[in-house]
Each structure stands twice: as structure tokens, then as C-alpha cells.
Structure 1
Amino acid sequence: MKKVLVVETNIQKYAGTNEATGLWLGESAEFLDEVYQQGIDVDFVSPLGGFVPLDPRSMKYIDQAIMNIYLEENFIQNGLIHTKKPSEINPNDYHAIYFTGGHGVMWDFPDNKELQELALAIYENNGYILSVCHGIAGLLNIKDREGSFLISGKKITGFTKTEEFLAGKMNKVPFFNQTAAEERNAQFKKRRFYKAFALKDGRIITGQNPFSVRAVAKLYLEEVQSCKQF
């Protein structure tokens, strides 16, 4: 059975500041909770490989399900300490690639050519590209073989400008994901701020904010159940 490749950030601080950022824990742990229940295995990758910092603010939103994943030795060792480098990944091993969030991804996801090639290879092999919240940054610059942005014309979602304002990060982020997606001709969709919302367009599934993780996972799992080759 093919696996899901979970992409996490290596960025520890907002650029030019001493303010901590990193992986939003629930955006990895809640997704894992859903796919593990269906017997699907995962691997973890980050732009540099190795250590993945946790955004300390995300620790305020831990429930028992997240804690159960967080305390697993596999997650600690492979998802936080020893993530793989993109060069160590064979895209043929995966049915989907999932870009997690946390503000850090806005610095190390968008321009990483290796991650873009992995995502495109999985997608071209009838696989899925998934993201949640700021993880949409990993989709922004993926181009197809004709040189067009993969998200062009696609219905997608991610962390909105309104949510960025409410998070108090308008002056700390290098760009706005919503604006960047719209500039690439994506059909950016959104619902009320900080409410669960996910949507699927073909084999691209995206979620708006940290409260949308399970919605993304469930849309993906619906596809898995109907996919005869999985």
C-alpha cells in the first residue's frame, strides 16, 4: 500500500525577529490521527531534513487525540527530529503529499524546487496534493510540464487575509497566501474565519485554517475508499 508524504517546516523564527514559529502541531497530528485510523502509513519530509520546530502557540490547542500522536515515538523521532530530506524521497512510494502549516512554511515552502518536483511527480502519477492553512504556500509555485501554475483555475483555499489580520501577523509575513493564490489565477474560496472549511478540485484538496485539518483528511479518505489502485 502506498503512503502519504507529510511536509513540515524547518523555520524556527519569523524573519528579522526573535519570535518563534514552526509547525502548527495539530496540522500534522490531527491529520495523522485520521489516516492512521484507516491503516495508512506516512513518511515525513522537510526542506532541509532533520529537526522540525513547533510553533509554541499551537500548544494551546492540544486535545487528547493530538497528545496521543505527539507522544508517539515514531512521530517524535521521524516527524520532529529526523525528518527526511527531499532528495531521500521516491515519489513513486506515495499516493498523496500533504503540506502542513504554521507561519514558518511561508519562508521555506514556496521556492523549494525539490518539494515542487516531488508534488508534481505524485500528482502526475494519479496521486493527490493536499494542504491546510499556511501549507498552501507549498502549492503556489508548482508548475505543470507546460510551465503553467498547477493551481491556476483550481478551486483552493488557505489562511485568509482576514485570519492573518486576526492573528496579528499582517506585518510579519512575507506575503499573503490568499493574494498570491489569486495572482496565480486560482479560484480562492473562503468561509467564516477560524471555522472548518475544506474543498476538493480534482486531485487537489485544501483546507482554510487550523480547524480544517480533519475536513481535509476526510475528503482525502473518501477518495482513497473509491480508488481501486490504492
Structure 2
Amino acid sequence: MIKHIFILAIAAMMLVACTPQERVLVNRQPQSTITENVLEEQGLQVLKRKANDEANRILIVSLATHKKQQHPEIISKPAQAKKDISVEKKLVRHMISKHVPQKNAERFASEIMKYCNMYKIDPYTILAMIEVETGATYNPNLVGRNHEEGLLQILPSTQKFMNMKGNLFNTSVNIEIGVKYLAYCQKKFGIELGIIAYNQGEGNVKRGTYNTNYLAKVNKVLSKINR
């Protein structure tokens, strides 16, 4: 009797010990169900991430479009080129109004623009000086009473001082020397006195023994050019 009671007690203890583990096993989801849930959750995360990426892309494109509309980019170099062409056309138009053949006017204007850009000189001023120096004839073969030559009436001594070679009746050579010399004078004396020094020499400007007749003539022509 005692033996049977002992055996029943042991059996009951084993049953109680196994019950928690069995409950765990009963409550556990099958591995396949867990895997499906994980995959579903990962899929939702991927879709959510893609949706966020697409929303960010649309926002960026929208902001860029708005910025472009509000602040369009300005391409400086083409704009400058357009401005230069406009100035050149004005130079040509003024020379044609003075009965300069169009072919010559276009060539002179092109050379004026080239060297004024190179030496940072106002092209309208050079055109006005050419008109004054040549008496509005724009004759590239003109020789002055002091042996000045060409469009800008360059003295051989000035050419030597500028350390430049070439035929002074060649308009490209003549204009380059004249523009370079004016740049030198204006750098040394300023805009207006530089123009006077070009015509009357550095010595007269330094001593104050100059007149403003030449400057007045240049300014008169400048006032007639449509700037």
C-alpha cells in the first residue's frame, strides 16, 4: 500500500513538472507563422522606406523647380558677349553715319573691341579719338603735320616707347599701340588728363602747361555716339 502511494506521488510530481513546458509549447506559434509575420513586417518596412524616398525625391525636385523659377541662373559670359556685340554694332553704326564704308567700319570696330578689352579701355573713347585725330575722315593712311600716322595718329617715337613693332598704317597695329598708350596715360594721370596726355604729352600735363581743347572735342563726339 505504501509502495503504491509512493508511485502515485512520483507520477503526480512528474505531471506538475511537465505542465509549464507543455503550456509554453501550446502557446508558441508555429515557426512558419513566425517567419510569415517577420517577412510581412519587413515588407511593410521596405514599402514604407520606398514611399519616404519617393516623397523626399518629389520634395527636392519641387524645391529645385521653385528656386529656378524664383531665382533663374544668370550665365555671365554669354551675357557679357551679347553686351560686347551690342557695343560693336554701335561703333559700326556711328562710323557708317560718317560715311565710312561698312566693310571698313566693321573691321575697325572689331579691332577696337579686341584691344580695348585687352587693355581695359572704353571703346567709345577710342572711337571718338579716332574721329578727332582723323578729322572724321577715318583715313587709315593719314599722315599728320608732325608725321603722326594712321587712325590714332601715332608718332614713331610713341611706337618705340610702347616697345611695339609693325606698320603704323596697318589698322590693327595702329589701334593696338594707341589703346595701349592711352591705357598707360590714364593709369598715370586719370581718365581725362590721360586723354590730354595722349594728345599733348606727359610733360605738359606734369607742368600744367596744357589746354583742354582736345578733351572737349573728344567729349563732343562721345555725346553724339548712342551709348
Q: TM-score, normalised by structure 1?
A: 0.27
Q: TM-score, normalised by structure 2?
A: 0.28
- When you count strand as a share of all residues, which structure comes out higher? 1
* Structure number with higher relative contact order (C-alpha < 8 Å, ≥ 6 residues apart): 1
- When you count helix as a share of all residues, which structure comes out higher? 2
